[in-house]
Homo-oligomer: A and B are copies of this chain.
């Protein structure tokens, strides 16, 4: 009899956001017609930029006519889009060749797929609190996981230490869920650590567009990163592509281990296991990087940043400790009165119909914290902030 992948049996029963969806669904069934203020799952609420929509329409028109029709796309991405993205890195003084950029269906897909490149015997280091899929995807592969907890003491920005026996190091900065952002100096410590050990960093830069201060947007701003890092990016939050699906991944040609070149391996993976990203979506993705597209997406990001300000103001007034909100679209607050994070979730849902994300879902050290997404509707965010203030002032 065939053996299935038995590692799936080591997964927890179900996924964080699925649980949240179930709980809110049950609440709505018990309380039909109640309006919810959804700041749980990090989904965006503003429509696609008009430059993107125009490009998508043009691409659909191309697909409707024989002379402009596109069949199979190059598996690693349209050469012009790979070049465009490489150029985007220039403003951070990061030099990439287009062959180092891979167009993807988004960071979520890529974070799952990329693990195929590593031996099952490699150990994954996950700084927690963390996006739960980092852990689950490695459990599915049967990989040993080192959970590196962080907390208020280090500002949720842990550093390396000699005893960490890690091969694959996940860094998400700006962080989901805490909103904390590593400095250049802090990232340099991790890059040096990875190079010394021969480890590889998977740098999740999905939220780089939210950085305001002088902090690194890309791991490749750090000297030495080209020989130890892969960067996974997404247009989901940058340009509202959560339901549209385009991302990109950077793998430098210098990244080699044990005589195997990781960039070449990924080319081989993509040419075997995909037929590339939709022509239509790649055209839409390319429009994000035009001057018009950049101006439009930054207008949307400013709206989300204002949501963050509205929430931060209330938390400041309440004297509640929180992280993020400034250079990141997430606010990570301490639950009041020592409440558990699922307990606080239930309180907010039942009392004020506000949906957030319990910190415990991001790892054990997230217990006692709560994440708010700032991607919601501005009016809803204002009303949610008002309700939070009213509830927690009692």
A42-94 interface with B by 8 A CB criterion: 43-48, 50, 53, 56-57, 60-61, 63-66, 69-73
- How distant is A295 from chain B, measured CB to nearest CB, in Å? 16
Asked if A122 lies at the interface with its beta carbon under 8 angstroms from chain B, I say yes
Q: Can you list, as one digit per residue, whether each of A222-247 has a CB less than 8 Å from chain B (1) or not (0)? A: 00000000000000100010111100
Asked if A33 lies at the interface with its beta carbon under 8 angstroms from chain B, I say no
Q: Say yes or no: A48-B72 contact (C-beta < 8 A), given A4-B257, A108-B275.
A: no
> Cα distance A303–B121 when bound, in Å?
52
A71 surroundings in chain B (CB, below 8 A): 43-45, 240, 242-243
- How distant is A135 from chain B, measured CB to nearest CB, in Å? 9
> Cα distance A151–B234 when bound, in Å?
47
> Cα distance A14–B272 when bound, in Å?
10
A239-280 interface with B by 8 A CB criterion: 240, 242-245, 257-258, 260, 262, 265, 268-269, 271-280
Asked if A167 lies at the interface with its beta carbon under 8 angstroms from chain B, I say yes
Asked if A198 lies at the interface with its beta carbon under 8 angstroms from chain B, I say yes
Closest Cβ neighbor of A18 among chain B residues? B271
> Cα distance A14–B264 when bound, in Å?
11
> Cα distance A260–B56 when bound, in Å?
42
Whether B140 pairs with A269 at a CB distance below 8 angstroms is: yes
A3-49 interface with B by 8 A CB criterion: 3-6, 8-9, 11, 14-15, 18, 41, 43-48
Asked if A106 lies at the interface with its beta carbon under 8 angstroms from chain B, I say yes
Asked if A105 lies at the interface with its beta carbon under 8 angstroms from chain B, I say yes
Whether A268 pairs with B11 at a CB distance below 8 angstroms is: yes
Asked if A200 lies at the interface with its beta carbon under 8 angstroms from chain B, I say yes
Closest Cβ neighbor of A261 among chain B residues? B4
A65 surroundings in chain B (CB, below 8 A): 47
> Cα distance A273–B11 when bound, in Å?
13
Whether A260 pairs with B199 at a CB distance below 8 angstroms is: no
Asked if A197 lies at the interface with its beta carbon under 8 angstroms from chain B, I say yes
Asked if A162 lies at the interface with its beta carbon under 8 angstroms from chain B, I say no
> Cα distance A26–B109 when bound, in Å?
35
Asked if A281 lies at the interface with its beta carbon under 8 angstroms from chain B, I say yes
- How distant is A206 from chain B, measured CB to nearest CB, in Å? 11
- How distant is A161 from chain B, measured CB to nearest CB, in Å? 18
Whether B265 pairs with A8 at a CB distance below 8 angstroms is: yes
Q: Say yes or no: A70-B280 contact (C-beta < 8 A), given A106-B275, A140-B269.
A: no
From B69, B140, B245, B265, give the contact of A45 (CB < 8 A): B69
Asked if A189 lies at the interface with its beta carbon under 8 angstroms from chain B, I say no
Binds B, one of A110-118, A210-218, A311-319, A344-352: A110-118
From B120, B265, B278, give the contact of A244 (CB < 8 A): B278
Whether B64 pairs with A3 at a CB distance below 8 angstroms is: no
A2 surroundings in chain B (CB, below 8 A): 118-119, 122, 167-168, 198-200, 257
From B5, B44, B197, B200, give the contact of A116 (CB < 8 A): B5
Beyond A47-B64, A48-B64, 7 additional contacts (C-beta under 8 Å) are: A1-B199, A3-B257, A4-B117, A8-B260, A41-B72, A56-B280, A243-B279
Which residues from chain A sit less than 8 Å from chain B, CB to CB?
1-6, 8-9, 11, 14-15, 18, 41, 43-48, 50, 53, 56-57, 60-61, 63-66, 69-73, 105-106, 108-109, 111-113, 116-122, 133, 136-137, 140, 167-168, 197-200, 236, 240, 242-245, 257-258, 260, 262, 265, 268-269, 271-281
